[in-house]
Amino acid sequence: MKVDLKKLKKIVGKDNASGDSADLYVYSSDASVHQAMPSVVVRPKTAEEIQKIMRYANKNKIPVIARGAGSSTSGHTVPIDGGIVLDMKRMNNIIEISSQDMLCKVEPGVVDDDLNRELKSHGLFYTTSPASSKIATIGGEIGANASGMRAVKYGATRDIVLGMKVVLANGDLIHLGANTRVHSSGYQLEKLIVGSEGTLGIVVEATLKLVPLPKFRCLAMAKFNKLEDAGEAISGIIASGALPSMLELMDNIGIEVVNKSLDLGLPDVAAILLFEADGNIKEAIDYEMEKMKKVCEKHNGFEIEMSYEEKERKRLYAGRKNLFSSLSRYKEGITCTDLADDMGVPTSKIAECAHEIHEIAERNNVIMAVYGHCGQGVIHTKIMMDTTKKEQWDDAKRVVEELYDYVDSIGGTTSGEHGIALSKAPSWKKARKDLLPVMKAVKKAFDPNNILNPHKLMDAPDDWVTATNLRYRVR
């Protein structure tokens, strides 16, 4: 694709635009299985620069893909058609923090943990907390509607975004939302932009709702000899009216994986549940924890450990925290791929779904651990396989198809928090045929020339395996 690099350098400065193949390679993939080379990489610093870039791109019908940390597991930032990748990380100013209005205004390149470090000194807390919060940018979290372990209490990014400034495909800058916790002033397009995967506009500023930083956190670990029992405990905890600030599951494969690769000495049981309550009143947290403990015991949870101490909480959480990284170190020749990695299912169906995942994996010669943010119905898994073997990709494809057909059959949804992009598009499109025409019409309303992250979501290719190059060498 022909892109005028000189023109772009004029806009952002010569050091902030590159067509150098080494640079381009870095931006050709994210945490997904996909890989495709951009034409150029641009690192804008201001909304005005982005407006100029969009006007140029729109006039010349050049794809523009906004990118934060590149931690997407589904291929959001892979430039399937080449074009301009916008690295947003230079736009990393925290513009305003207001305790009186319990909100902050930030640029999209601000990193999640950096924001919370700053907010801590104000006694405030930004609640989106993906496992990748060390690197994840607010802009990326908005693109995917990220949530993470605390969404069971605090909701996802969409629930937290009060407003934003957005540069549209035609270069216009619009201001969405309000500085109030609620508003009814017209279509709340700020909520539509969250989770739109960079296909509707480029977010250049976000207004985020904050909560008081909890004084106390108490974390507990319960062991189960039957996965069904752990599942019953999850829906039991939700039904009990308890308000966990975290409710996480790990199955026996996950436990084995962590023990093998980290030697954490986790108990060799069928499942582990981690549950947390947070707040400013210890009595209230004790009450919540006791309530959840009783539910676990009722469903044969045993050896329940519980602590307010950070050190102890870290120990109890270590297995869950390191699970993802452990998966890739599980076995020589076995690679962990981010596929079918975050389906959402009703909390009442967690155990049943975990079982089904194990059976599907076995049937198809791959390994799949089951874990995740089960309090909000988000199940995580990965497909672990020999990525050098063509047949294993066929196995993986079958797994993804069988799994999502099942998820659909129990009233679940394709993605709980990572998004659709490329890897999940075929399954999602199959499940939600009814939505495609109206989503395409909305996309056209925002982006008539289809330059914003094209060929993703409803416009993605029907076969994820061949949608792009794979990020792996396949013999």
Give 32 or 39: the residue with its C-beta nearer to a copy of itself.
32
Distance CA 396, CA 402 (A): 10
Give yes or no for a contact between 158 and 190, defined as CB atoms under 8 angstroms apart: no
In angstroms, give the least distance from the CB of 108 to a copy of itself.
Answer: 17
Work out the angle between the directed axes of helices 310-327 and 252-262 (0-180°, nearest 10): 90
Give 67 or 158: the residue with its C-beta nearer to a copy of itself.
158
In angstroms, give the least distance from the CB of 389 to a copy of itself.
Answer: 30
Dihedral sign of CA atoms 197, 131, 68, 212 in order? positive
Q: Using CB atoms within 10 Å of the CB of residue 352, give its burial: 0 to 12 exposed, 13 to 18 middle, 19+ buried.
A: middle
In angstroms, give the least distance from the CB of 210 to a copy of itself.
Answer: 10
Give 149 or 366: the residue with its C-beta nearer to a copy of itself.
149
Give 101 or 312: the residue with its C-beta nearer to a copy of itself.
101
In angstroms, give the least distance from the CB of 84 to a copy of itself.
Answer: 22
In angstroms, give the least distance from the CB of 177 to a copy of itself.
Answer: 8
In angstroms, give the least distance from the CB of 320 to a copy of itself.
Answer: 18
Give 12 or 345: the residue with its C-beta nearer to a copy of itself.
345
Give yes or no for a contact between 148 and 126, defined as CB atoms under 8 angstroms apart: no
Give 24 or 242: the residue with its C-beta nearer to a copy of itself.
242
What secondary structure letter does DSSP report for 458?
A: G
Residue 189's H or E segment, with its range, is: helix 189-193
Give yes or no for a contact between 400 and 339, defined as CB atoms under 8 angstroms apart: yes
Give the number of residues written for the chain. 475
Give yes or no for a contact between 84 and 65, defined as CB atoms under 8 angstroms apart: yes
Tokens of 218: 């108490």
Dihedral sign of CA atoms 401, 407, 413, 416 in order? negative
CA distances from 168 to 61, 372, 428, 458 (A): 14, 35, 26, 19
In angstroms, give the least distance from the CB of 269 to a copy of itself.
Answer: 24
Q: DSSP string of 381-428?
A: E-EEE-TT-HHHHHHHHHHHHHHHHHHHHTT-BS-SSS--TTTTHHHH
Other Cβ atoms closer than 10 A to 2: 8
Spatial neighbors of 371 by CB under 8 A, at least 6 apart, are 248, 249, 250, 251, 254, 320, 323, 379, 380, 381
Q: DSSP string of 5-43?
A: HHHHHHHH-GGGEE--HHHHHHTS--SSSEE---SEEE-
Q: Which residue has the tokens 């047949």?
A: 391
In angstroms, give the least distance from the CB of 442 to a copy of itself.
Answer: 5
Give 342 or 386: the residue with its C-beta nearer to a copy of itself.
342
Give 158 or 471: the residue with its C-beta nearer to a copy of itself.
158
In angstroms, give the least distance from the CB of 363 to a copy of itself.
Answer: 25
Tokens of 56: 């140029």
Give 52 or 209: the residue with its C-beta nearer to a copy of itself.
209
Judged by DSSP in three states, 157 sits in helix
Give 332 or 434: the residue with its C-beta nearer to a copy of itself.
434
In angstroms, give the least distance from the CB of 371 to a copy of itself.
Answer: 16
Give 269 or 273: the residue with its C-beta nearer to a copy of itself.
273
In angstroms, give the least distance from the CB of 448 to a copy of itself.
Answer: 9
